[in-house]
Chain A
Amino acid sequence: MSILSRLQQATLALTFTSVSFIALAENTLLNVSYDPTREFYREYNQLFSQYWQKQGHEAPTVRQSHGGSGSQARSVIDGLEADVVTLALAYDVDALRQKADLIPENWQSRLPHNSSPYTSTIVLLVRKGNPKNIHDWNDLARKGVEVITPNPKTSGGARWNYLAAWGYALKQYGSEEKALEFVTQIYKNVPVLDSGARGATNTFVQRQIGDVFIAWENEAFLAVEQLGKGEFEIIVPSVSILAEPPVAIVDKNVDRKGTRKLAEAYLAQLYSDEAQHLAVKHFYRPANPTISNQYKDKFPQLTLFTIDDVFGGWNKAQQTHFNDGGYFDAILSKISK
């Protein structure tokens, strides 16, 4: 064989591999998510793969990344090539726009239900038999009750916890000052301030620290059914916050990688009936009201307020409560005295 034809062959092979590489890239998604969605998305990826093949495409490869919502968002901002993000709160998704301009301003209105295909709420988890007699938020402010919740400065989930308690106090006592006082009392009862939600779960479940654990409803169900059967009880407070974990495609990344079509289908299918039922299986509340009605018995009914209603949206809540010099800093310095 002449050298020339060998060279041609090599070039051909090279072209071939690069073509198939591009095809592979176009058929591969990276979903950057937060901690408790691991099991849900593992199953959903199979569901979506079947759907996508039925549409006459090749089977897609979906890769997952999980971690604390805030640090996941930061990884994407710093260059992790996520096609879609499915995070714990809108503030973290919005950071992709504010810090790196990766998504457009209207991102949250591109999909139904504020881009949240599933929701949850914040409930209270206590030990078997409810020895400290906890029934509502005001019991958390009592002397001698130890409360486990992570640091809202670093944990997205903890911000929902904090805001749920604050919303209750506003409703109950009527003023910001009273709410500040009430939430300060709760944080006075916190013996360990973990930096993330999974760490706090471990503190409560494994280390047996604390009397009550403020938790996402789906995490609480998980703890009751899987981590320690019969060791915990869920206490549903009189009011709580509607936690909406939003999803979004990362426009800058999908356009560069040519994965927009696949990514859009991936998120749209989260609203399909099958995916909504799957969300319920993993203890999330489905966004679709018809399906939500079918599971009335599974999820306790309680008054839910939204962050927009009570706090005027995430940006405002973040500024007033969690940024440097906000209410949470005031609470910490009060407790230290």
Chain B
Amino acid sequence: MGKAVMKSVLPGFGITLGFSVLYLSLLFLLPVAGLFLFTLQMSWADFWVAISHPQVVASYKLSFAASFIGATINAVFGTLVAWVLVRYQFLGKKVVDALVDLPFALPTAVAGIALVTLYSTTGWVGQYLYLWGIKVAYSEIGVVIALTYIGLPFVVRTVQPVLADFSKELEEASASLGASRFTTIRRVILPAVLPALLTGYALAFAKAVGEYGSVIFISGNLPYRTEITPLLIVSKAEQYDYNGAAAIGVVMLAAAFILLLIINSLQWWASKRG
């Protein structure tokens, strides 16, 4: 009987659930259904040809690999940024804290243009890297940099509150029981942070896979080499090939969904263990 009583304690279940379902349907389910409907017009053979063309396959590899690398870099350095912001007091901390959100607020095209200005072979940073033989803009490295840039706030903002809640006493207890600093980090801090970190990782990864605006300015867009999948989808649509664009979109959606599912079950496993 507990459940019925619980409902009356928090009123409005029916109306909020109804609204949520409607809202999600209009904003999310309908466009996704449309995507699948477009591909239903295709035969299996056409669908397969559209999604398995070597140029398309090359773009999957780049998009997923670069997103993976970008999210991994963010997992390490984003956690570090979150740690610094939570644990230390320093001049300009508020500014640094605000800067982290910049990739959320800045239009992605502006970010792309700024990054290419910095990293092209004539750019402020790029010209020196080029002397060492490293070409950043218009190469795969450029794609990774753009995807790292847009993913940073996801990791920082998910890890930060967990670290803030984490009581210092646990660390002190660990130290007084004779654990080394490394052991404290590995056995005490990391397990507490891991579920949040995985969430941030998943968000950064998912955002990177779909990112378009900032990447196309810095990637060079060479087919088979630096062409990301979202660009290929846009380019298909430009050629009035809506079916082909939708087919690749479905593959992206399915792949991203499976990967997120894996990361989420990892997160579930980590929080159980914690």
Contact = CB atoms under 8 A, between A and B. Distances in A.
B240 A209 contact: no
Contact of A71 (B54, B216, B238, B244): B238
A207 interface: yes
B235 A324 contact: no
B223 A336 contact: yes
B54 A336 contact: yes
B128 interface: no
B138 interface: yes
Contacts of A195: 216, 221, 231, 234-235, 238
A332 interface: yes
B199 interface: no
B220 A333 contact: no
Nearest to B139: A191
B122 interface: yes
A335 B224 contact: yes
Count class of interface residues, chain B:
20 to 34
Contacts of A336: 54-55, 58, 223-225
Contacts of B58: 336
B224 A333 contact: yes
Nearest to B55: A332
A192 interface: yes
B14 to A, nearest CB: 39
Contacts of B54: 333, 336
B63 interface: no
B224 to A, nearest CB: 4
A167 B168 CA distance: 74
A332 B223 contact: yes
A198 interface: no
Dominant SS at the A interface? loop
A324 B221 contact: no
Contacts of A207: 116-117, 120, 122
A153 B239 CA distance: 7
B220 A95 contact: no
B241 interface: yes
A154 B138 contact: no
Contacts of B177: none
B160 interface: no
A154 B235 contact: yes
A194 interface: yes
A32 to B, nearest CB: 16
Interface string A64-88: 0000101100100000000000000
Given A151-B221, A192-B138, 8 more contacts: A74-B237, A191-B138, A193-B220, A207-B120, A208-B120, A208-B122, A332-B224, A335-B224
Interface of A: 68, 70-71, 74, 95, 99, 151, 153-154, 190-195, 207-209, 322-324, 329, 332-333, 335-336
24 contacts: A70-B239, A71-B238, A74-B238, A153-B238, A154-B235, A190-B222, A191-B222, A192-B138, A192-B220, A193-B222, A195-B221, A195-B235, A207-B116, A207-B117, A207-B120, A207-B122, A208-B120, A209-B120, A209-B121, A324-B241, A332-B223, A333-B224, A335-B224, A336-B54
